[in-house]
Amino acid sequence: MTRSYDTIVIGGGLLGCATAWMIARDGGQVLLVERDQINQHASGSNAGSLHFQLEYRMIERGIEAARTAAEAMPLHLDAARLWSDLPGLCGQEIEVKQTGGLMIAEDAHQIDLLEKKTEIERSWGLDNQMIDRAEIDRLAPYLSDRVVAAAYCPTEGKADARTAGPALARAALQAGAEIETRTEVTGLSRQAGRWHVAVTSAAGATTVSAESVVIAAGVWTTRIGQMMGAHLPTIPLALMMTVTQRVPKLIPHLVQHAGGRLSLKQALDGNILIGGGWPARLIRAEDGEPNFGAKPELLASSLSGNADMAIRVLPELSRIPAIRSWVGTTTVTPDQLPLVGPVPGQPGAFVATGGSAFTLGPSFAQVLAALIAGRQPDTALTAFDPARYGRQ
Ligand SMILES: Cc1cc2nc3c(=O)[nH]c(=O)nc-3n(C[C@H](O)[C@H](O)[C@H](O)COP(=O)(O)OP(=O)(O)OC[C@H]3O[C@@H](n4cnc5c(N)ncnc54)[C@H](O)[C@@H]3O)c2cc1C
């Protein structure tokens, strides 16, 4: 007999786990299916930055692009609140520290960009302000003298990417969700008002059914969309990160740069994480399609470019050995705005993805859980509506 649920969540990254937990907490019968292990992909290999200011990738094309990206600010504001409440709400230990974030500038052009960006963010309600070098000396004396100004957002910070997803999976299980790992969704069809989801695991192939399905499949979102005939365009990005050995407390903030790809932060155990969006090389299959199952290749130019930039603004780093670099694959949307809401033309199907879905994962999950429960989400979704890309 076909097992049946209220909702099937496809994907066991941070987003899928948070969504399954929130649906189960609301009393829904939910099954989460994950092809590999919980948190095995982007959610477990990211930098853990909780960035609520617009990121460099959103401002590098100028202030008009920043204005568009700022339409996602309500989701950023929700995420800032949700992350700080998350450990208490889900009853799990999650390492979250919101001790402030600085986006730094080294020249007049970057200061101008930061000033305009900050004004836009403040108009959406983000607590963010420009600070000068004297204030930087007080707040962040570890930064090099080259840093002449910064935008300071007190709610920014970091969370431990290795443990946040698994903690939310435990919360989901405790709330009554079922989780099946090493179980791949291979087909989706809608019959008699229900979704029939074909899954394959070591136990064989079977079908489970549900009133609704949630696509929380990260970089695989477009492919899952294709299984149901939906057009959910995403762009894969392979990225790299580096971590140093443990050192005494040095950087209490999340540091980003207004003029290039850089993020810096120090984990609770003392390691400094260096990243910010430097590319790795996606592995492609013979037909040219990206192979998301294969680890991307580390690029020497990214390794040195990221290190140069990090040392330039934090000279102390030149004396701290790096111990590991790694790569992962994430996704952004063609217009950089999140893709969140009902899947067009597919009743009972919902999706969420987009860049920085670690930071925004709890906000996305809250929206999805509301839609599934038939509630109007608190956030207006028009700008994120997957239907903006049209049907296939
Ligand atoms: C190096 C790096 C650094 C980053 N730094 C940051 C950062 O500092 N801050 C930030 O906010 N974001 C960051 N990101 C982005 C962030 O990691 C992702 O946006 C986020 O983790 C996506 O979470 P997710 O749950 O949507 O997807 P994922 O974590 O990718 O999970 C999707 C899951 O779906 C599963 N799946 C796919 N297809 C199927 C199928 N057919 N059947 C069953 N399961 C399936 C996959 O196996 C996977 O586990 C970074 C990404 C990388 C790679």
Residue 52 belongs to some domain of the structure: no
Note whether 67 and 351 are within 8 A (CB). Answer: no
What residues of the chain score a pLDDT lower than 70? Answer: 391-392
Q: With a 6 A CB cut-off, is 35 part of the ligand 1 pocket?
A: yes
Domain identity same for 126 and 170: no
Q: With a 6 A CB cut-off, is 359 part of the ligand 1 pocket?
A: yes
**Residues 95, 249: Cα–Cα separation, whole Å:** 16
- Residue-wise pLDDT for 297-344, tens only, equals 999 999 999 999 999 999 999 999 999 999 999 999 999 899 999 999
C-beta atoms surrounding 245 within 10 Å: 12
Q: With a 6 A CB cut-off, is 338 part of the ligand 1 pocket?
A: no
Q: What is the CATH number of the domain that holds 298?
A: 3.30.9.10
Q: With a 6 A CB cut-off, is 333 part of the ligand 1 pocket?
A: no
Residue 55 belongs to some domain of the structure: no
3-class SS at 322?
strand
Q: What is the dihedral of CA 82, 87, 90, 91, to 10 degrees?
A: -160
Residue 105 belongs to some domain of the structure: yes
Note whether 16 and 216 are within 8 A (CB). Answer: yes
Domain identity same for 379 and 253: no
**Residues 225, 319: Cα–Cα separation, whole Å:** 48
Residue 277: the pLDDT is: 96
pTM over 0.85: yes
Q: With a 6 A CB cut-off, is 356 part of the ligand 1 pocket?
A: yes
The domain containing residue 355 runs over which residues? Answer: 3-44+163-234+335-389
Q: With a 6 A CB cut-off, is 188 part of the ligand 1 pocket?
A: no
Q: With a 6 A CB cut-off, is 172 part of the ligand 1 pocket?
A: no
Q: With a 6 A CB cut-off, is 217 part of the ligand 1 pocket?
A: yes
Residue 64 belongs to some domain of the structure: no
Domain identity same for 140 and 170: no
- Look at residues 331, 350, 379 and tell me which one is the last residue of a structural domain: 331
Q: Which atom of ligand 1 is least distant from the CA of 158?
A: 8
Residue 347 belongs to some domain of the structure: yes
Domain identity same for 137 and 244: yes
Residue 92 belongs to some domain of the structure: no
Query: If you take atom 3 of ligand 1, which residue's CA is the nearest one?
Result: 46
Q: With a 6 A CB cut-off, is 258 part of the ligand 1 pocket?
A: no
Give CA separation, 140 vs 155, 222, 249, in Å: 16, 42, 12
| CB neighbour class for 93 (10 Å; exposed up to 12, middle 13-18, buried from 19) | exposed
Domain identity same for 320 and 243: yes
Q: What is the CATH number of the domain that holds 17?
A: 3.50.50.60
Query: If you take atom 25 of ligand 1, which residue's CA is the nearest one?
Result: 13
Domain identity same for 31 and 170: yes
Q: Which atom of ligand 1 is least distant from the CA of 358?
A: 11
Distance of CA 319 from the midpoint of ligand 1 (Å): 32
**Residues 278, 254: Cα–Cα separation, whole Å:** 17
Domain identity same for 311 and 212: no
